[in-house]
Amino acid sequence: MSDTEGNSAYGKKSFKRSKSHFSDRVTADGRDGWPVESGRYRLVVSRACPWASRAVISRRLLGLEDALPMAVTDPVQDDRSWRFTLDPGGRDPVLGIRYLAEAYEAREPGHPGGVSVPALVDVPSGRLVTNDYQQLTLDLATEWRSLHREGAPDLYPERLRDEIDDVMGEVYEDVNNGVYRAGFATAQDEYAAACEGVFRRLGLLSERLAERRYLVGDTITEADIRLFTTLVRFDAVYHGHFKCNQWKLTEDQVLWAYARDLYQTPGFGDTVDFDHIKRHYYQVHEGINPTGIVPLGPDLSGWLTSHGREELGGRPFGAGSPPGPVREGEEVAATGRP
């Protein structure tokens, strides 16, 4: 998620998500000049952003907390970019910067495009390495294996990659990105096409998940992570703020149970901050919500209710094990949980 032309510009022109300008990869062999190395990089995220939340979940499931320290930005960015106002003195304690834009400028002064999260920053130089949200989590699952915790799940199993890629492609086009195309639409037909696409795909996903616990195979994969980060925001922001309101997530028995199953799985719900999510969307998108009023609802208590998905079988972590307790200093604020 990025700041493009300031907060007031949201909803003023047709939405088109730009490709990541910085697409270097951190790999085991360091072929792009960035080798996997414990403690060298800092993962900058916003708990409000679904694209960044993918990386937060993957990092926790894989046990990369020590190897890849994380910085959490204020959910309400200003026109200068994501800011570190949650930290003492308004600076990231490791990078020493006030705005994520400073790491972008250190990499390429006057770079085109916005300042987005997730972002991987090289700590020694203070330069941005990558903001390629599509590739980042795949690399965490594959290139960072030497630093995974014991019992870490295989989130991108090689034998299932073609199917995972197909499912993720459909989810991205119609759901992950579709809600944005609906929410930032500037014409009725543009909005209608995007909104109808969102619910058409959600209907197909509901059918797919009616008799299987996870999207691909019998364990959690990258595909589930990518769908979850949209579903968990659906009723809180996309249904009202983005006008994706043909029905609520809670009104689809299968998807609501699937989302609750994942939410209650260690590594998912314990990374979600509904307070950050709601304040970001309703206060930053001034072109859509000029008053900045944040709604009181929806009721979040249902996220912790029984879902019954265990009856479908499946092994959440495959032959592995769940991650341990959330690390000290990375807890989600009490106001952000049901």
14 touches 40 (CB < 8 A): no
Rounded Cα distance between 218 and 316, Å, is: 7
Residue-wise pLDDT tens for the chain (338 aa)? 544 456 555 565 666 666 668 999 999 999 999 999 999 999 999 999 999 999 999 999 999 999 999 999 999 999 889 999 999 999 999 999 999 999 999 999 988 888 999 999 999 999 999 999 999 999 999 999 999 999 999 999 999 999 999 999 999 999 999 999 999 999 999 999 999 999 999 999 999 999 999 999 999 999 999 999 999 999 999 999 999 999 999 999 999 999 999 999 999 999 999 999 999 999 999 999 999 999 999 999 999 999 999 999 999 999 999 999 999 889 997 777 88
Closest among 295, 178, 166, 305 to 246, alpha carbons compared: 178
Q: Which two tokens stand for residue 253?
A: 């028995």
pLDDT recorded at residue 16: 62
Annotated catalytic residue within 10, 41, 156, 180: 180
pLDDT recorded at residue 8: 57
Rounded Cα distance between 232 and 332, Å, is: 15
For residue 244, indicate whether it is catalytic.
no
Alpha helices for the chain (secondary structure H): 50-62, 101-107, 133-142, 161-171, 178-183, 188-209, 222-233, 253-263, 274-284
How many CB atoms lie under 10 A from the CB of residue 120? Answer: 25
For residue 281, indicate whether it is catalytic.
no
Give the contacts of 56 (CB within 8 A, at least 6 positions apart).
45, 47, 70, 118, 271
Residue 207 zone, left/alpha/beta (φ > 0; ψ -120 to 50; rest): alpha
pLDDT recorded at residue 80: 87
Residues across the chain: 338
Kindly report, residue by residue over 275-318, the tens digit of the pLDDT.
999 999 999 999 999 999 999 999 999 999 999 999 999 999 99
pTM: 0.95
- The amino acid that residue 234 corresponds to is F
Kindly report, residue by residue over 178-204, the tens digit of the pLDDT.
999 999 999 999 999 999 999 999 999
Annotated catalytic residue within 10, 41, 49, 104: 49
Tell the residue number behind the tokens 């308004």, with chain if given: 90
